Structure 1
């Protein structure tokens, strides 16, 4: 974003409706998580709720530029980091390499696991060395997941049946904060998380 600022800055300004070179992304602030509640307490309308965010790990290039060794190194770092989570976030990391087809398809069918990249990711060179360096972590209740090296380095997901946005959002915020204590995220003072 610095080297190619002359190219990116006008695109960023146009896409974000006037975000100028001198503007800065606001500081990270999740807000008051207690203000979010259950959007459908009677369970009449909302089938499930999902909130997710993507993060890139500091010190690594974006997905299309990763080497196979970097994919593997990141997968190991993510697996080790997530194995230290406790409470409702405690779970298991499953590498895609060596995962049985039946297990993989079940996780995909249950909307827990990503598939190999679509044509856009393939064109962007983001599927190299597949499935090496990719994996999924989920907690015991399957309400908290982390995808490793799908499109982003990390895709952090909180979800559950029903409409309790408050519980889903609180879990996501807790998880992101816990992960960031262990693995620094790529951040730019002007642009925010990269």
Structure 2
């Protein structure tokens, strides 16, 4: 089963946890300065080092563009990986919980995802993958500054810890702006659904650490976890306030959204994300009882533009909107 179909700890607010480790191989320039020959050699070295990890090797150059964009929508690769595909690849587990990006900003980016708030398990998985690779690879490392990375903001541990949160009540109340300000003061950053430069589609926000130098991996994870727990409490409190002060309006909103998803003939990706956000809220607040949260988790991923385009004989906005509505309707009316 794909990891994103599950609902983990604090799953009413926290969609997923992610740990990413940036590494570079000693003796080679950073990825943006590699020659084609050096790039090929690095890919071969990493592929060999990963033999015991039971991961599929996917060459970006050998993959159709729509499939590459599907990987972005499933949060397996970054949008940056869509460019200069000849030098890039990804190692991927069958459940898509573990992915190793090759040739992005750094030579290696180990990424481990878990459902809900489960940063420590994600860190444990990432460190195990890192240990296997380091048995055969010599990483660029400085005793004083830590792991050498292309971007100075990753130098040190090379670790980026993040959580994806569903924050409809904080967004509706306007408190989200206070959150953004508070997070920055604590050395954290808040981004949209697909990370840096993206918007908060479907009321989804990604909170991650900014500091990697002069701090241990465990300290980074603990600080993020503590902040996320505060945000969870604030979001739940605001949901209770909405229920107490505007119960009829709240019930009407989430019920209408569920009705549209079950009956619409056309659905754009943006509309689907927003309606699924309402339904997710309704399920987690006990208002909607006939739709499982697993269906919403699945549709949040599989209604993306690339996923729908893969199923369309004609890739146009209107044909995608029609196909998206069909898929959503079929998935939801099963229940």
Q: TM-score when scaled to structure 1? A: 0.67
Provide structure 1 residue ranges, at least 5 long, that are not aligned to the other structure: 1-39, 119-126
Larger Cα Rg: Structure 1 or Structure 2? 2
Which structure ranks higher in relative contact order (CA pairs < 8 Å, sequence separation ≥ 6)? 1
Query: Given the alignment of the two structures, is residue 50 of structure 1 paired with residue 43 of structure 2, yes or no?
Result: no
Q: How far does residue 159 in structure 1 lie from its aligned partner after superposition?
A: 0.6
Structure 1 segment 180-191 matched on structure 2, within 5 A: 180-191=134-145
In structure 2, the residue matched to 1:192 is: 146
Structure 1 segment 72-111 matched on structure 2, within 5 A: 72-85=40-53, 90-111=54-75
Select which of 173, 190, 193 maps to 2:127.
173
Select which of 134, 145, 159 maps to 2:99.
145
Deviations 1:24-69 (A, max 9, x none): xxxxxxxxxxxxxxxx734222110001110011121112321111
Provide structure 2 residue ranges, at least 5 long, that are not aligned to the other structure: 1-7, 149-335
Name the SS of the counterpart of 1:105 in structure 2.
helix
Name the count of aligned residue pairs. Answer: 141
Name the SS of the counterpart of 1:59 in structure 2.
coil
Moved over 4 A (4+): none
In structure 1, the residue matched to 2:308 is: none
Q: TM-score when scaled to structure 2? A: 0.40
Name the SS of the counterpart of 2:39 in structure 1.
helix
Cα distance in 2 for partners of 1:175, 1:157 equals 9
Cα distance in 2 for partners of 1:187, 1:143 equals 27
Structure 1 segment 114-153 matched on structure 2, within 5 A: 114-116=78-80, 130-153=84-107
